[in-house]
Amino acid sequence: MRVSVWEESMIYLPQRMQRPLVAHCHLGLGKLYRRTGKREQAQEHLTTATTMYREMGMMYWLEQAAEGGEGVGVKIRDGRDQRRLSR
């Protein structure tokens, strides 16, 4: 039986709406790991957060994630520029 487009949307929409929350969790974990000196874990979570923010077009949060990645070399790319943050 074929599920209607509306029913498919109702299934997909909540998953899509949670993506910003998941990205925020990755950002928070990345910052926490950075503060506790766990650079590898920080890099992993901050990279995931920046990728998700970029895919969702959340440029403010992309910048926040970049600032959270100070010193771990997180790369940011929004289609216009690319910069490497390492201080």
Calculate mean pLDDT across residues 1-13: 66
Domain that holds residue 38: 5-80
Q: What is the pLDDT of residues 9-44, one digit of tens each?
A: 767 766 777 888 889 999 999 899 899 999 999 999
Claim: this prediction has a pTM higher than 0.75? no
Total count of domains within the chain: 1
- Which residues, in sequence order, are CB contacts of 47 under 8 Å at separation 6+? 74, 75
Residue 25 is assigned to a structural domain of this protein: yes
Is 20 among the domain residues?
yes
The answer to whether residue 86 is domain-embedded is: no
Q: What is the pLDDT of residues 60-83, one digit of tens each?
A: 999 988 887 665 445 544 444 344
Phi and psi angles of residue 85, each rounded to the nearest 5 degrees, phi first: -100, 105
Is 87 part of a structural domain of the chain? no
Residue 23 within a domain: yes
